[in-house]
Structure 1
Amino acid sequence: MNDSQNARIDAVVLAAGKGTRMKSDLPKVLHAIAGRPLLDHVLDTVAAVGIDHTVVVVGHEADLVRATCGRPGLDFALQQPQLGTGHAVQVAMPQVRAGGWTVVLAGDVPLLRRETLRRLCEGTVASGAAAAVLTCVVPDAGAYGRIVKDGTGRVQRIVEAKDASPEELAIGEYNTGVFCFRTDRLVEALGSLTTNNKQGEYYLTDTVAFLVGNGEEVAAVATEDPDEVVGINTVDELAAAADILARRGN
Structure 2
Amino acid sequence: MSLAMIIMAAGKGTRMKSDLPKVLHQANGKPVIEYVVETSRSLSPEHIVLIVGHQAERVRQATAHLPVRYALQEPQLGTGHAVMQAERPLGDFDGDVIILSGDAPLVTPETLQELIASHRNQKATATVLTAELDDPAGYGRVIRSPATGDVLKIVEQKDASEEEKAVREINSGVYVFDAATLFDLLSRITNDNAQQEYYLTDVFGICFREHRKISAFSASDPDEIRGINTPEQLREAEEILRKQR
Please tell me the TM-score bracket, short chain as reference: over 0.9
Shift of 1:52: 3.3
Matching of residue 67 in structure 1 with residue 61 in structure 2: yes
Partner of 1:211: 207
**SS, match of residue 86 in structure 2:** helix
Partner of 1:165: 161
CA distance in 2, matches of 1:192, 1:26: 34
TM-score by length of 1: 0.93
Partner of 1:47: 41
TM-score by length of 2: 0.95
**SS, match of residue 156 in structure 1:** strand
- Structure 1 residues 135-174: Cα deviation after superposition (integer angstroms, max 9, x where no partner): 0012331111111122201112101111111111111111
**SS, match of residue 153 in structure 2:** strand
Identity in percent:
42
CA distance in 2, matches of 1:13, 1:72: 13
Matching of residue 180 in structure 1 with residue 190 in structure 2: no
The AA in structure 1 aligned to 2:199 is Y
CA distance in 2, matches of 1:180, 1:152: 22
Match of 1:94 among 79, 83, 88: 88
Match of 1:129 among 124, 135, 142: 124
Residues 52 and 73 in structure 1, CA contact (< 8 A), matched pair in contact too: no
CA distance in 2, matches of 1:71, 1:89: 23
Report 1:139-154 matches (<5 A).
Answer: 139-150=134-145, 151-154=147-150
Can you give the 5+ residue segments of structure 1 that lack an aligned partner in the other structure? 1-6
Match of 2:25 among 20, 26, 31: 31
Can you give the 5+ residue segments of structure 2 that lack an aligned partner in the other structure? none
RMSD (Å), alpha carbons: 1.3
Partner of 1:194: 190
The AA in structure 2 aligned to 1:162 is K
CA distance in 1, matches of 2:69, 2:39: 17
Matching of residue 235 in structure 1 with residue 231 in structure 2: yes
CA distance in 1, matches of 2:93, 2:73: 21
CA distance in 2, matches of 1:107, 1:37: 10
Partner of 1:4: none
Shift of 1:238: 0.8
Shift of 1:71: 4.0
CA distance in 1, matches of 2:121, 2:179: 15
- Which has the higher mean CA deviation after the structures are superposed, 82-91 or 69-78? 69-78
Shift of 1:72: 5.5
Match of 2:71 among 59, 77, 81: 77
Partner of 1:117: 112
The AA in structure 2 aligned to 1:109 is A
- Structure 1 residues 172-206: Cα deviation after superposition (integer angstroms, max 9, x where no partner): 11100000001121112101211111111100011
Match of 2:5 among 6, 11, 23: 11
Aligned residue-pair number:
243
CA distance in 2, matches of 1:84, 1:171: 23
CA distance in 1, matches of 2:36, 2:139: 20
Name the CA shift for 1:243/1:139 in 2 (closer, same or farther; >3 Å).
closer
Residues 140 and 170 in structure 1, CA contact (< 8 A), matched pair in contact too: no
Matching of residue 106 in structure 1 with residue 101 in structure 2: yes
- Structure 1 residues 26-49: Cα deviation after superposition (integer angstroms, max 9, x where no partner): 111011112110000000001112
CA distance in 1, matches of 2:229, 2:205: 28
CA distance in 2, matches of 1:52, 1:182: 14
CA distance in 2, matches of 1:131, 1:70: 31
